[in-house]
Amino acid sequence: MKLRALALIALITGLLFVAGSPASAQRPIPGIKQTVAFKQLKNYVQFLGGRKNVPASSTQKMNFRSNLNARKRKANQKVVALYKQKLTRLSKQDDNQERRQVKQIRLAQKRQVQALKQDLADRINDIQEDQAQAVQRVYDNFAPRINMRADRRDALKRQLKRTKNPAKRAALIRQINKLQTQINALVSDRTIAVNNVNSKFSARISKANNLYNSRIAGVRANAQRQIQQARTAWRQTFRTQIAAAKTRRDGQKEIVAGVASRGAGYIDQMPPVNE
């Protein structure tokens, strides 16, 4: 039972730690004055201030300075650590926001490209419907003339089968051949007309493809420019943030130096020991 209870407590503690981690990562980074290292320096300087009128030997003063410098060094190390922590957070934050913005630009580009491709497909479908109707009109235009001659030819062929007289058969064959020649000429003209129609509509389809491919390329190029501009802007933002962080770091170092300097002054004020 005890082992089970301990395991449950450990599990709950682990969950609370995991749940609290993201929140702790977003906590404001403290200033140097809120740190233990600075408070230790400040408390030691206050201690020195309380002893500024107390006689001290050279050895004591050397120890005081050594302790003061050690606390000053720790405080400065904390200033640098806070600065590095700030840079790490800025880098991650800016990277996340930059990726989010780039993702939005690419999603917008994808939607635009898909819309253009659908428009192109619809336009080509319309052109192909017009093409099919135009081709059918060509066939409808030639059909009466071809069919009339084909019907006449077929009738003559049936008559030829029934005819025994050589002279009449020769005459029928000449008429059949003449009609077939006319039919062949009409079919050839029809093929040329259909090819012309198909060529004209192929040119329209090619023109539509070129137009929309150009628009799609423009959308992609514009998205790439936006991504480059966004990245350039984020780099500038990061440089500005780094400059601000450096200014804050230098200011905090000055605070540490000022407090340590006050402590050094207190040591200098300590009167010598009368021997």
Q: What is the mean pLDDT of residues 65-82?
A: 95
Between the alpha carbon of residue 37 and those of residues 34, 41, 62, 83, 266, the distances in Å are 9, 6, 21, 15, 20
pLDDT of residue 79: 95
Q: Which residues contact 212 (CB under 8 A, 6 or more apart)?
A: 116, 117, 119, 120, 123
Q: How far apart are CA 84 and CA 111, in angstroms?
A: 41
Q: What is the mean pLDDT of residues 171-175?
A: 95
Nearest-5° Cα angle at 209, 204 to 212: 120
Tell me which of 6-20, 65-79, 112-126, 165-179 is least confident: 6-20
Is 13's pLDDT higher than 50?
no
Q: Model pTM?
A: 0.67
pLDDT digits (tens, 9 = 90+) for 182-198: 999 999 999 999 999 99
- Of the chain, the end-to-end C-alpha distance in Å amounts to 72
pLDDT of residue 192: 97
Token duo for residue 152 = 């006449």
pLDDT of residue 23: 46
Q: Is the alpha carbon torsion for 61, 67, 70, 75 positive or negative?
A: negative
Cβ burial, residue 71 (10 Å; 0-12/13-18/19+): buried
Is 233's pLDDT higher than 60?
yes
> 173, 160 in Cβ contact below 8 A?
yes
Neighbours of 34 (CB within 10 A): 11
Q: How far apart are CA 231 and CA 227, in angstroms?
A: 6
Residue of 134, 152, 130 whose CA lies nearest to 190: 134
Is 223's pLDDT higher than 90?
yes
Q: Is the alpha carbon torsion for 146, 148, 152, 154 positive or negative?
A: positive
Is 1's pLDDT higher than 50?
no
The residue assigned the tokens 């590095």 is 84
Q: At what angle do helices 166-269 and 58-162 cross, to 10 degrees?
A: 170
Token duo for residue 54 = 């107390």
Q: What is the mean pLDDT of residues 242-261?
A: 95
What are the residue boundaries of the structural domains of the chain, listed by start? 32-269
Q: How far apart are CA 207 and CA 124, in angstroms?
A: 10
pLDDT of residue 26: 63
